[in-house]
């Protein structure tokens, strides 16, 4: 081997020079061959490799829209929430990246370009950090072809997203439509139940109970006012009765007698006979014929008064009572006394009227309380049915509103895409790059030369290392 022969210490000088020359020539030939091969391969690659152009497309993936809240007065509320797609742990751009390189999108893109799918290479997708941007790179043999591929892939991805959104919307509509149908059935049932109950119970609304309570409250106020008037009239009646020493009925009887002409005519005869007796008694005895005659006339008039009074009053009248009821108008005091009798009778009539009114009010309140107790029980049932109806209305209206609102939220699962930068038309090929190939070739030549140089200097290095080892051993 070469390494063992080079270590022989006693070699002739001429042979050593020849050996060094051959060794140098060998390394030179190896270096020229390796470097030449590398340069030949690089030049061949630059000459034979067709140019490839890269078109770049920049897409913005938008977040979801804001939520929508709809208030339905007296019914309920419907809300739709669309949180931003970038707020979750998953990035929608990753989904779009996978979809862009899927066979479905690539097949559609190749079909749109009217080229075989094998000629449509998978695009290079880059996600730009801390942004919502998606970079798509497509390659083609010409600049126009590269741009057409970018447009075709974008349009295919857009169409695919539209299909997925429509399918998702259809499935959602089916679910909401089923819920809406169930809500409508419940609403119809609740409306039917409350209508039947109103027709059966006669209670149309809670306003009837409120109106009944208001009427009962007014009756109670009227009763309180009537009771106060009754106490006031009763007190006046007692006072007037004590003043006249008469009961109200007696005063009424006296007024009846005072208004009868026949009774008053007999009363005049009685008074005249009584006056005659008083005049005759002053000069004659009680058995004197004139006195006896006058006394008979008085007794006859009294009997006539009693009989006439009984006819007028329709009840037996005693003499003492008759004397109490006779109004004497001889000196003008009878008219005043008659006015007091009228007041007494009016007070009694007013008292009786107030008593009847209180009785009537008591009966009305009793009837209203009984009706209120019945309506209160019916109202409890009506409130339950009405609450069920309101719940059914709220559910139906909310479901219907959600159905309408969901149609506008098409980008919940697949956010909207916007082109930030249209596909570029490259001016220079992206591959091959002559400068990069040349630089790589130069670096390769330097590495080959460096390696051969190290191999060239391995003998002196071995000698030096052996000497160092011997000195260490010694």
pLDDT tens digits for range 51-71: 888 899 999 988 655 555 555
Quote the pLDDT of residue 42: 81
Split at pLDDT 50, 70, 90, the class of 327 is low
The region of weakest confidence among 270-279, 328-337, 392-401 is 328-337
Q: What is the pLDDT of residues 423-457, one digit of tens each?
A: 998 887 766 777 787 888 888 888 888 887 877 77
Quote the pLDDT of residue 335: 59
Cα separation, 309 vs 350, whole angstroms: 26
Which has the closest alpha carbon to 311: 263, 377, 379? 263
pLDDT exceeds cutoff 50 at 330: no
- What are the phi and psi torsion angles at 54 (to 5°)? -120, 125
The region of weakest confidence among 123-132, 228-237, 305-314 is 305-314
Quote the pLDDT of residue 151: 93
pLDDT exceeds cutoff 60 at 396: yes
Q: Which distant-in-sequence residues (6+ apart) come within 8 Å of 254 by Cβ?
A: 246, 324, 325, 326, 327, 338, 341
Q: What is the pLDDT of residues 6-58, one digit of tens each?
A: 444 444 566 767 766 777 788 788 888 888 888 888 887 777 767 888 899 99
Neighbours of 469 (CB within 10 A): 10
Under 8 Å between Cβ of 62 and 411: yes
* CA quadruple 81, 87, 89, 92: dihedral sign: positive
Distances (CA, A) of 205 to 116, 210, 212, 383, 387: 75, 9, 12, 9, 13
Q: How many residues can be counted in the chain?
A: 474
Split at pLDDT 50, 70, 90, the class of 287 is confident
Q: What is the pLDDT of residues 146-163, one digit of tens each?
A: 899 999 999 999 999 999
Neighbours of 231 (CB within 10 A): 11
Split at pLDDT 50, 70, 90, the class of 135 is very high
The region of weakest confidence among 287-296, 299-308, 332-341, 363-372 is 332-341
Q: Please state whether the peptide bond connecting residue 94 to the residue before it is cis, i.e. omega within 30 degrees of 0.
A: no
pLDDT, the chain, mean: 77
Quote the pLDDT of residue 59: 93
Q: Which distant-in-sequence residues (6+ apart) come within 8 Å of 208 by Cβ?
A: 375
> Does residue 93 sit in helix, strand or coil?
helix
Quote the pLDDT of residue 10: 45
Under 8 Å between Cβ of 229 and 343: no
Quote the pLDDT of residue 73: 53
By CB atoms closer than 10 A (0-12, 13-18, 19+), residue 230 is: middle
Comparing 457 with 320, the larger pLDDT belongs to 457
By CB atoms closer than 10 A (0-12, 13-18, 19+), residue 238 is: exposed
Quote the pLDDT of residue 146: 87
Overall average pLDDT of the 354-379 stretch: 86
Q: Which distant-in-sequence residues (6+ apart) come within 8 Å of 301 by Cβ?
A: 266, 267, 269, 270, 273
Long-range pairs for 431-440 at CB < 8 Å and ≥24 separation?
431/49, 431/51, 431/52, 432/45, 432/46, 432/49, 432/51, 432/52, 434/46, 437/42, 437/45, 437/46, 438/42, 440/42
- What are the phi and psi torsion angles at 39 (to 5°)? -70, -35
Q: What is the pLDDT of residues 229-247, one digit of tens each?
A: 888 888 887 887 777 666 6
Quote the pLDDT of residue 25: 81
* CA quadruple 13, 14, 20, 23: dihedral sign: negative
Domain ranges of the chain: 53-192+393-421, 211-379
Quote the pLDDT of residue 352: 86
Q: Which distant-in-sequence residues (6+ apart) come within 8 Å of 214 by Cβ?
A: none
The region of weakest confidence among 214-228, 361-375, 424-438 is 424-438
* CA quadruple 455, 461, 466, 468: dihedral sign: negative
Q: Under the phi-then-psi rule, with left for phi > 0, alpha for psi from -120 to 50, and beta for the rest, what region is 465?
A: alpha
Q: What is the CA radius of gyration of the chain?
A: 65
Which has the closest alpha carbon to 297: 275, 320, 281, 279? 275
What fold, for 53-192+393-421?
Bacterial polysaccharide co-polymerase-like (3.30.1890)
Split at pLDDT 50, 70, 90, the class of 221 is very high
């Amino acid at each position: 081997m070469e390494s063992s022969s080079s270590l022989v210490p006693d070699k002739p000088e001429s042979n050593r020079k020849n050996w060094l020359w051959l060794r140098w020539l060998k390394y030179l030939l190896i270096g020229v061959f390796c470097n030449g091969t590398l340069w030949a391969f690089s030049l061949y690659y630059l000459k034979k490799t067709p140019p490839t152009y890269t078109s770049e497309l920049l897409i913005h993936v938008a977040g979801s829209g804001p939520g929508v809240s709809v208030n339905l007065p007296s019914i309920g509320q419907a809300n739709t929430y669309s949180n931003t797609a970038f707020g979750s742990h998953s990035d929608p751009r990753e989904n779009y990246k996978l979809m862009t390189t899927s066979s479905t999108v690539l097949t559609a893109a190749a079909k749109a370009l009217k080229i075989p799918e094998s000629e449509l290479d998978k695009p290079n997708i880059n996600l730009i950090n801390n942004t919502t941007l998606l970079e798509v790179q497509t390659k083609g043999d010409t600049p126009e072809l590269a741009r057409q591929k970018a447009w075709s892939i974008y349009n295919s991805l857009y169409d695919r997203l539209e299909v997925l959104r429509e399918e998702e919307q259809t499935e959602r509509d089916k679910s909401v439509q089923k819920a809406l149908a169930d809500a409508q059935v419940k609403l119809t049932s609740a409306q039917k139940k409350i209508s039947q109950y109103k027709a059966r119970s006669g209670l149309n609304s809670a306003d009837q109970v409120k109106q009944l309570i208001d009427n009962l409250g007014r009756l109670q106020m009227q009763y309180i006012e009537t009771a106060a008037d009754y106490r006031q009239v009763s007190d006046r009646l007692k006072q007037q009765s004590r003043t006249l020493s008469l009961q109200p009925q007696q005063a009424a009887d006296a007024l009846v007698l005072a208004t009868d002409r026949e009774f008053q005519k007999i009363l005049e005869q009685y008074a005249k006979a009584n006056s005659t007796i008083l005049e005759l008694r002053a000069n004659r005895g009680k058995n004197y014929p004139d006195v006896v005659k006058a006394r008979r006339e008085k007794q006859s008039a009294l009997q006539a008064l009693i009989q006439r009074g009984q006819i007028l009053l329709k009840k037996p009248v005693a003499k003492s009572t008759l004397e109490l009821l006779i109004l004497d108008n001889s000196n003008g005091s009878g008219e005043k006394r008659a006015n007091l009798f009228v007041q007494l009778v009016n007070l009694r009539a007013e008292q009786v009227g107030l008593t009847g009114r209180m009785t009537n009010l008591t009966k009305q309140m009793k009837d209203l309380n009984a009706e209120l107790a019945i309506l209160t029980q019916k109202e409890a049932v009506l409130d339950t049915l009405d609450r069920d109806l309101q719940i059914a209305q709220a559910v139906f209206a909310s479901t219907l509103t959600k159905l309408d609102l969901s149609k506008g939220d098409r980008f919940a699962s697949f956010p909207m895409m916007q082109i930030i930068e249209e596909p570029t038309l490259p001016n220079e090929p992206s591959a091959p790059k002559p400068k990069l190939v040349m630089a790589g070739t130069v670096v390769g030549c330097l590495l080959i030369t460096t390696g051969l140089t190290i191999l060239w200097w391995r003998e002196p290095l071995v000698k030096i290392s052996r000497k160092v080892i011997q000195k260490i051993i010694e």
